[in-house]
Amino acid sequence: VTLSTPRATDVEGATPVIETMLAHTSVRRFRPDAIPEAHVDLLVEAMRRAPTSSAMQTTTVVLVTDPAVRRSLRPHAGGQAWVAECPLFIVSSVDLRRNDEITRERGHVNRAGDLRVLISATEDIAIAMQNASLAAQSLGYGSVMIGGVLNGTREIAEVLGLPPRVIPLLGLCVGRPDVGRQDPRPRIPRVVAFHRDHYRLTPEEERTALEIHDEEIIASNYYDGRRIPAADVGLERDPVPDGAYAWREHVARKQARIWWDDATPKLWDDLRALGWRGCEGRGST
Ligand SMILES: Cc1cc2nc3c(=O)[nH]c(=O)nc-3n(C[C@H](O)[C@H](O)[C@H](O)COP(=O)(O)O)c2cc1C
């Protein structure tokens, strides 16, 4: 049972592409130096060459290099400082408008509906953004994905002047790292999430593997200073002593934050306001 993620240097036969992948850590501190246009072009071409579901290309991308625009976006993307500080912020959107219009112009009825498009375009976005991220890392830049865009998708659409039915979903900060080498963030053991031919993991095996993982995390002090405060999940006092907070507690708190009580209804409202028609008259209820 392999319980830890190998580093690039541990893996035999890794190509430079794989080494770039295995050396990944998210970077959240950037030098302000602008990215040369030739490099921006390489990132754009890496995104354009990404596979796209049925060649539908249901995405629209805005490259934000104007610091004033990034500053306006920051409060709507979870207030994250690196959104304003990185020299290049890429915002990828699901574009429900373009192909819808083409379908109507050609005299057809759009029977696909917005749910399937939202899912497959989200897949496209993730793949293209990862291409951009890897391309950037191979050029020596640092990057971090920003799912925090979902916090303010409606406001971000407005700041960027997006047409109706274009929904920003994911951002990517790119820039020269202003940090030294970072230790890679641990991953859960291979055995928990990867299977061969069939799913084969008993609940006991899963529990044991995650317990061992938590012990390793505690031994590495990874969550020192990275805890989600008890108040965020509605507790007055933190029941978890020092030296017991690890990945499972972190995941649980991420999902238990009181913040979701407002964020989840806001996301539904935003999607509706942006013209997503995924659920109207659908489903079994
Ligand atoms: C879809 C997606 C959304 C993410 N959103 C954010 C974000 O809004 N802010 C942030 O700082 N990191 C964000 N991240 C980065 C993750 O926190 C990071 O990948 C994870 O903690 C693992 O760390 P590593 O990338 O350094 O290995 C996101 C990553 C992904 C894949």
**Consecutive 10-residue runs of the chain (285 residues): their mean pLDDT?**
51 92 97 97 98 98 98 98 98 98 97 94 98 98 98 98 98 96 92 96 97 96 94 96 94 98 97 92 72
Residue 187 · residue 7 · CB < 8 Å: no
Q: Where are the alpha helices (DSSP H) in the chain?
A: 16-22, 37-48, 67-73, 81-85, 96-105, 114-138, 153-160, 190-193, 203-219, 247-256, 260-273
What pLDDT was estimated at residue 279?
80
Handedness of CA 110, 116, 122, 128 (dihedral sign): negative
172 Cα–ligand 1 center, Å: 10
Distance CA 89, CA 74 (A): 10
76 Cα–ligand 1 center, Å: 17
Distance CA 247, CA 244 (A): 10
106 Cα–ligand 1 center, Å: 40
> Residue 158 corresponds to which amino acid?
E
- Across the strands, what pairs with 93? 60, 168
What pLDDT was estimated at residue 9?
54
Strand 166-175 to 142-146 pairing: antiparallel
Task: From residue 270, give the alpha-carbon distance in Å to each of 91, 98, 141, 266, 280.
Answer: 17, 19, 33, 6, 15
Quick one: tokens of 265? Answer: 């209804």
What pLDDT was estimated at residue 285?
60
Q: Which of 274, 66, 275, 279 is nearest to 152 (CA)?
A: 274
Is the pTM of the predicted complex or chain greater than 0.85? yes
32 Cα–ligand 1 center, Å: 21
> Residue 190 corresponds to which amino acid?
R
Ligand 1 contact, 254 CB (< 6 A): no
Nearest CA to ligand 1 atom 31: 145
